Structure 1
Amino acid sequence: MSTDSNWDPWNYRNGTGLGSDAPAEGRLDLTGLKVQATDGHIGKVDRATYETASSYFVVDTGPWIFGKKVLLPAAVIRSADVEAGDVFVDLTKEQIKSSPEFDRGTADWTDTSHRDEIGTYYGRHYGGL
């Protein structure tokens, strides 16, 4: 996929119920939902944030990537179905598996350098809004 100049990784897309179009009663709670890549299940949402221009979610991949947790930018979510317990992302398993490693010993999920690296990495794979 090509990089789109409109790539805004840290905001949820409109139409997902998570962005600025969230229902009046509040945003969907993603915690615990299964994450579905374009080619299958990759794990569960461990944590999700909703800060303007800083939103992301952390996926616990369990045994699929040897217990690795990965940070995904909010904009990769295509849709969410809370009733079915699924979040759908516009990425393949391999793209997620090959994402930059997070070093838990030296940073937290809000680490600016890691987030910049993640935004750049997924921007190369993301086709646009």
Structure 2
Amino acid sequence: MTEHVWSYQQTAGHLAGTDLTGYKVKATDGSIGKVDKHSDEVGDAYLVVDTDVWIFGKEVLLPASTVVRIDPDDKKIFVAGSKDQIKNAPEFHRDKHLGDTGYRGELGTYYGTGAPFGGRPA
């Protein structure tokens, strides 16, 4: 089941309409980059994170459900999962995947409740 993976958790502190662009993103074990793009669309919310040099300048797409807490004062977003779990997610290419429902399904399964976080179902 992945229907809630594209929605913010109620406890994350996200306020619809808040511009998260430029916020620093922290995994459980350190920084992974900054928000380059985000969506607040109900049922289709996500962050596109520019990883800088962490994984060779690539971007990652994180479903909104991975957001644990947003700190608007320090402009930081804390997400569930380690750097390795995020790094091992299905590879993201902005021009190919932003509108790709197949990719979204794969990512939803990776981060969703149907599999252990950070792993594909067996």
Name the TM tier (shorter chain).
0.7 to 0.9
Q: 1:7 to 1:112 in 2, by over 3 A?
A: closer
Q: Does 1:118 align with 2:107?
A: yes
Structure with higher Rg: it is 1
Whichever residue aligns with residue 104 of structure 2, its letter is R
Runs of 4+ in 1 over 4 A off after TM superposition: none
Partner of 2:64: 74
Q: Does 1:10 align with 2:15?
A: no
TM-score, scaled relative to structure 2: 0.85
Whichever residue aligns with residue 85 of structure 2, its letter is Q
Structure 1: how far apart are the matches of 2:73 and 2:23?
Answer: 10
Gaps of 5+ in 2: 118-122
2:2 touches 2:109 (CA, 8 Å); kept in 1? no
Structure 2: how far apart are the matches of 1:102 and 1:47?
Answer: 13
TM-score, scaled relative to structure 1: 0.81
Partner of 1:31: 21
Whichever residue aligns with residue 83 of structure 1, its letter is D
Structure 1: how far apart are the matches of 2:87 and 2:116?
Answer: 13
Q: How many residues align?
A: 116
Q: 1:101 to 1:121 in 2, by over 3 A?
A: same
Root-mean-square deviation (CA), in Å?
2.0
Structure 1: how far apart are the matches of 2:84 and 2:58?
Answer: 14
